Structure 1
Amino acid sequence: MLGIFLYILGTGAKVSQCRERFQRSGSTISQYFAIVLEKVSRMATDLIALKDPFFSSIPEQIRNDSRYMPHFKDCIGAIDGTHIAAILPPNEQIPYIGTNSTKNVMAVCDFNMCFTFVMAGWERSAHGTRIFLDAIRDPKYKFSHPPNG
């Protein structure tokens, strides 16, 4: 399972290529990928974290650049999203109809370009605000909130 997962991530291979290489059916390839992705996603809440969860200092990139300071002194990172192609089992396809079966991924980076939060799995049609609000409201995601003020 891990080999299939890493092969797809490392090469961008399609399921048809994996079927040939690993001698498994397309549904087995998709199931294995989904299982490992779910495990990695669970680990991510513990492994992907802020170095300074209290945001005690202004990032050097802002503090030392007059273009950004003082306008972005309270900025703690950047959020962006992307869509990742997915092959879904028939019982999960309804929310994805008309969206080319892609999953929405939201990622947060600090000023050193290190991921501080990643959330994957929403359907493509989900708006970024909806995904963000789910991430900050649900404690299971362990989204880092800045201190009051």
Structure 2
Amino acid sequence: MINIRMSKMVFTSLLRVLETRYNLQTSRNISSSEMLGIFLYILGTGAKVSQCRERFQKSGSTISQHFAVVLEKVSRMATDLIAPEDPFFSSIPEQIRNDSRYMPHFKDCIGAIDGTHIAAILPPNEQIPYIGRKGIPTQNVMVVCDFNMCFTFVMAGWERTTRDTRIFLDASRDSKYKFLHPPNGKIILLILDILK
């Protein structure tokens, strides 16, 4: 619980999903459960590869290689999970329908888009474009939320200096990101912070 931030039951369920739906496989030198354990240990504790080498008795290259494998599987899973409950947006959200301040003005609104800055850990030679106002490297993350405050789309990894509109345009134009465009007649509020 302390090292991987989840119970054994949740770990086992996550492992089963990654193995059956996303093809996480045991390799010759390391089991799929150990791969996931290393991945979660690094995320949960912020451990470095050198610490994982000692803890899991594996080489640094093995740790790095299998961390990347699990990251790819989890990223694919995230693309499937972070999505609207109703991709057709067939009903007006309750929060809009029941509030006279918003109805009928926002009856066709299905959510909001905004960006936020999250701390990023990068090699020193790559940090400059990510350094923010507070002097630490951050990445600009764009999220789309519905009116139940559930994420329906997330795009991470952009430099701190990247404008929200550029991230939005890239996400909405490139099909590889699977951005769900609103159906005809529906809108998503784009919240732009002009002074970022």
- Give the deviation of 1:62 after TM superposition: 0.5
CA distance in structure 2 between the aligned counterparts of 1:117 and 1:93, rounded to whole angstroms: 26
Give the number of the structure whose alpha-carbon radius of gyration is greater: 2
CA distance in structure 2 between the aligned counterparts of 1:79 and 1:13, rounded to whole angstroms: 32
Structure 1 segments, 4+ long, off by >2 Å, are: 1-43, 89-98
* Shift in alpha-carbon separation, 1:97–1:78, aligned structure 2, 3 A: closer
- Give the deviation of 1:116 after TM superposition: 0.6
Structure 2, unmatched stretches of 5+, are 1-34, 133-137, 186-196
CA distance in structure 2 between the aligned counterparts of 1:88 and 1:20, rounded to whole angstroms: 22
* Shift in alpha-carbon separation, 1:93–1:11, aligned structure 2, 3 A: closer
In the superposition, the TM-score normalised over structure 2's length comes to: 0.57
* Shift in alpha-carbon separation, 1:83–1:27, aligned structure 2, 3 A: farther
* Shift in alpha-carbon separation, 1:135–1:110, aligned structure 2, 3 A: same
* Shift in alpha-carbon separation, 1:27–1:133, aligned structure 2, 3 A: farther
Note if contact 1:30-1:87 (Cα within 8 Å) is conserved in structure 2. no
* Shift in alpha-carbon separation, 1:97–1:115, aligned structure 2, 3 A: closer
SS of the residue corresponding to residue 70 of structure 2 reads helix
Query: Could you report, residue by residue, the CA deviation over 1:36-74 in whole angstroms, capped at 9, with x for unpaired residues?
Result: 555433322112111111111111110111111011111
Note if contact 2:131-2:160 (Cα within 8 Å) is conserved in structure 1. no
- Give the deviation of 1:89 after TM superposition: 3.2
Structure 1, unmatched stretches of 5+, are none
CA distance in structure 2 between the aligned counterparts of 1:25 and 1:84, rounded to whole angstroms: 30
Higher mean alpha-carbon deviation, 43-52 vs 83-92, is at: 83-92
Higher mean alpha-carbon deviation, 4-13 vs 34-43, is at: 4-13
In the superposition, the TM-score normalised over structure 1's length comes to: 0.72
SS of the residue corresponding to residue 77 of structure 1 reads strand
Which residue of the partner structure matches residue 159 of structure 2?
123
Q: Percent identity?
A: 90
Note if contact 1:108-1:115 (Cα within 8 Å) is conserved in structure 2. yes
- Give the deviation of 1:106 after TM superposition: 1.2
Note if contact 2:97-2:107 (Cα within 8 Å) is conserved in structure 1. yes
Aligned residues: 146
Note if contact 1:4-1:18 (Cα within 8 Å) is conserved in structure 2. yes
Query: Could you report, residue by residue, the CA deviation over 1:86-145 in whole angstroms, capped at 9, with x for unpaired residues?
Result: 2223564464367xxx11111111111111111111010001111111111110111111
Note if contact 1:30-1:88 (Cα within 8 Å) is conserved in structure 2. no
